[in-house]
Amino acid sequence: MPSNLPALRDLHFGLLDAGEEAMDEPLLLTNGYYDYNNAAYNAMQGHIWLIIGPKGSGKSAVLEHIRLSWQDRCDRFFSYWNLSAFPITDVTTISSGQSSGGSRAQASWEFLLWLRIAESLSTDHGITSKNSFPVMIKALKERGFIKGDWLSKVTRWTGGTLKIDAKVLGLESNFEHVMITPLEMSSYIKSQILDVTTDSRHIVSIDGLDSFFFEASDEWSSLSGLMQAISSVNKALTSVGLPINIVTAVRSDILDVLPGPEINKLKNHSVYLDWHKNGIGAKNELWNLVSRKASASKPEIKNIVNQYLGKPFAKGPHSDMSEYLLDNTRLLPRDLVAMLVELQKAFKRPGEVPQANAITAVQKYCSEYFVGEIFDNLAGVLRLIVIESAGGVAGVGASVTG
């Protein structure tokens, strides 16, 4: 390796959590971002609605990259909705004016999604709309339907019969009765939004679904309703040419088993972050990802494999160090970053990594990182087994948790 290259230990490959990386090292998600499968580009252009992949595949990184790339633009609006601590089961009990079941779950999510879109449009000063739209936005803000603590709002909206003062939509809504249901409110907000025109692009993003184990049937019903609501709302927006989309990060194994007539059609509007393409050697695109991150602060870095992993190597079936390292991961960005952190600890001198240090790094990675990851996944599987043995959730849940 040329002596003018920095030591491997001085390179930064990012953090294991995209949210933390966005806060602590935002440059790695802008200048150092590698757009695998053009996921971020297609989301920004409105071509995709779902970012699909296993946990740790970089779904959240796509959303964080878009957020950071747009944050200083006046014609781009990005809102982030993290559902990791959200009462998704409670959404199915919002009294939308329908009987319980899949249609009510979808309608309840559509109610929330139209509110989110209204919130995003309320910050866009370049929109053209009827006079009733700003009146509605003002009324929604004054009565706390947009902005503020959504967690407590949804909790208050659940159970019983939810009736809303029609004036919450503004004096121009002209409802025949004083109190309306969330279904009527949702329909009115939708009609107002679909009459808006704007040259700015909006993305309402949804993340945090990886943290759910979906132990109860109500959670599955709610998630299925959410996916169908996303499809319905996005189709409505597309039909009138509005540059607004809801973009959601979801695990591929969960999506594959969700019930509902529109779920499979969503895959036509998705990108799949599967890093298995090109095998486990130097041509795998994970190496492009970490090389790009390292180059954000060290522009002389072009290719981690060529510049640091080229020493002769022979271990078991492996005659290539890059192959050996990747073969001990699940071919996920999070795993490779954790592996390279251990490699940096094991080899602190300048130059190419010797075989002995690579083996030490793999051993440390397996014992201190990988075992914990496996236990995290097993915890969900074992929890579902206990529930099933007690006569709870059907077996579909266990098949998606591992």
Structure confidence at residue 201 (pLDDT):
98
**Residue 254 · residue 127 · CB < 8 Å:** no
Pairwise CA distance, residues 117 & 171, whole Å: 21
Look at residue 388 and tell me whether its pLDDT is greater than 50.
no
Of the candidate ranges 197-211, 265-279, 372-386, the one whose mean pLDDT is the lowest: 372-386
Q: What angle do CA 283, 286, 287 make, to 5 degrees?
A: 60
Tens digit of each residue's pLDDT (9 = 90 or more) over 66-93: 999 999 999 999 999 998 878 777 787 7
Pairwise CA distance, residues 245 & 43, whole Å: 8
Start-to-end C-alpha separation, the chain: 41
Q: What does pLDDT average to over the chain?
A: 85
Q: Name beta bridge partners: 158.
A: 94
Structure confidence at residue 177 (pLDDT):
63
**Residue 358 · residue 313 · CB < 8 Å:** yes
Residue that wins the pLDDT comparison between 263 and 60: 60
Pairwise CA distance, residues 34 & 290, whole Å: 8
Q: pLDDT exceeding 70 applies to what percent of the chain?
A: 81
- Reduced DSSP (H G I as helix, E B as strand, rest coil) percent helix, strand, coil of the chain, to 5: 50, 10, 40
For the chain, give the longest Cα–Cα distance.
80
Look at residue 217 and tell me whether its pLDDT is greater than 80.
no
Pairwise CA distance, residues 338 & 28, whole Å: 16
- Grade residue 297 by pLDDT with cuts at 50, 70 and 90: very high
Q: Is 197 helix (H, G, I), strand (E, B) or coil?
A: strand
Look at residue 402 and tell me whether its pLDDT is greater than 50.
no
Structure confidence at residue 323 (pLDDT):
97
Pairwise CA distance, residues 158 & 190, whole Å: 22
Look at residue 259 and tell me whether its pLDDT is greater than 80.
no
Q: What does DSSP assign to residue 278?
A: T
**Residue 326 · residue 280 · CB < 8 Å:** yes
Nearest to 243 by CA among 274, 206, 203: 203
Nearest to 233 by CA among 148, 112, 324, 72: 112
Q: What angle do CA 394, 398, 399 make, to 5 degrees?
A: 110
For residue 386, the one-letter residue type is V
Whole-model pTM?
0.88
Domain ranges of the chain: 35-272, 285-377
Structure confidence at residue 153 (pLDDT):
66
Nearest to 188 by CA among 199, 175, 198: 175
- List C-alpha distances in Å: 345 to 285, 305, 350, 373: 24, 18, 13, 20
Nearest to 96 by CA among 226, 183, 189: 183
Nearby residues of 391 by Cβ (< 8 Å), 6 or more positions away? none
Q: Name beta bridge partners: 203.
A: 78, 245
- List C-alpha distances in Å: 309 to 32, 224, 285, 339, 354: 21, 45, 15, 13, 8
Pairwise CA distance, residues 84 & 88, whole Å: 9
Pairwise CA distance, residues 281 & 148, whole Å: 49
CB neighbour burial string for 271-285, b if at least 16 within 10 angstroms, e if fewer:
bebebeeeebbbebe
Look at residue 163 and tell me whether its pLDDT is greater than 80.
no
